[in-house]
Structure 1
Amino acid sequence: MQVYGVRIPKNKNIFIALQALYGIGSSLSSFILNILAIDPTILVGRLPNLERYKIIHFIESNLPLENVLKHKMLSDISYLKRINCYRGLRHKLNLPVRGQRTRTNAHTRKFTRL
């Protein structure tokens, strides 16, 4: 099964396998399966074709995923940088953005490892 160019693993149950898509977590996965009335414990390989097409059609028609979400995130960050707000400046300088401590920690954000 393939959605947005991402191959869904066949040996996992559908609840876990949907989370392989960028933008779908556990709550959204259970919401999709509840809306479509599909058992979340069934394996993807044993899923009937009709239910596969229902899932693919629902996801592709109703949810922005993968590249759309990644592009939105990058455009939001570039907007913050362009208006020179505090968060944008922190992004420009490769420093932690959300108020984390930088005196002793934040080495992964501040420096590149050798």
Structure 2
Amino acid sequence: MARIAGVNLPTQKRVVIALRYIYGIGPSNSKEICDEVGIPAECRIHQLTDDQILKIRECIDKKIKVEGDLRRDVAMNIKRLVDLGCYRGLRHRKGLPVHGQRTHTNARTRKGKAVAIAGKKK
């Protein structure tokens, strides 16, 4: 089992897909890493040698901010907005959508389960 950046990668998946399990690595980053290390697109994780896994690990360490560091940075950015008291910070604090979406209907992911109001029905 390959363990990169503190994440166990699934052994049966292709390398390009499995690298996406690491927080902060998406489709383009995973493709770029594979090209740099020289791993073919159809290669699977269980077929990699220890040397190839080490090269992938080094490439990720020197190029991309992933997992704990990235999560910490995102949390600090949100905390900074909340502390400033700007509009986006207030939306984060209230648990409402931040990027201008409507809230009259929808926005249930951010707002939580709908609560019935007594006497609302006309």
Instruction: Give the TM-score taking structure 1 as reference length.
Output: 0.92
Structure 2 Cα separation of the partners of residues 111 and 72 of structure 1: 25
In structure 2, the partner of 1:86 is: 87
Q: Is the 8 A contact 2:5 2:57 kept in 1?
A: no
State the match for 1:62 in structure 2: 63
Q: How many Å apart are 1:13 and its aligned residue?
A: 0.8
- The aligned counterpart of 2:53 is 52
Partner of 1:75: 76
Determine the C-alpha separation between the residues in 2 that align with 1:6 and 1:47: 16
| Distance in 2 separating the partners of 1:12 and 1:49 | 17
Q: Secondary structure at the match of 1:100?
A: coil
CA RMSD of aligned residues (A): 1.4
Q: Which stretch of structure 1 is more off in the superposition, 55-64 or 76-85?
A: 55-64
**CA drift at 1:64:** 1.2
Give 5+ residue unaligned stretches, structure 1: none
In structure 1, the partner of 2:3 is 2
Q: Does 2:108 match 1:103? A: no
The one-letter code matched in structure 1 to 2:27 is S
- Structure 2 unaligned segments of length 5 or more: list them: 116-122
- Alignment partners' CA distance in 2, 1:54 and 1:110: 43
Secondary structure (helix, strand or coil) at the match of 1:58 reads helix
Q: Return the TM-score normalized by structure 2.
A: 0.87
Displacement of 1:21 in angstroms is 0.3
1:46-85 superposed Cα distances (whole Å, 9 cap, x missing partner): 1122211111111123221001111111000000011111
CA contact (8 A) 2:97 2:107 kept: yes
Q: Percent identity?
A: 38
Matched, 1:39 2:40: yes
Residue of structure 2 in register with 1:20 after alignment: 21
Q: Which aligned runs of 4 or more in structure 1 are off by greater than 6 angstroms? A: none
Larger radius of gyration: 2
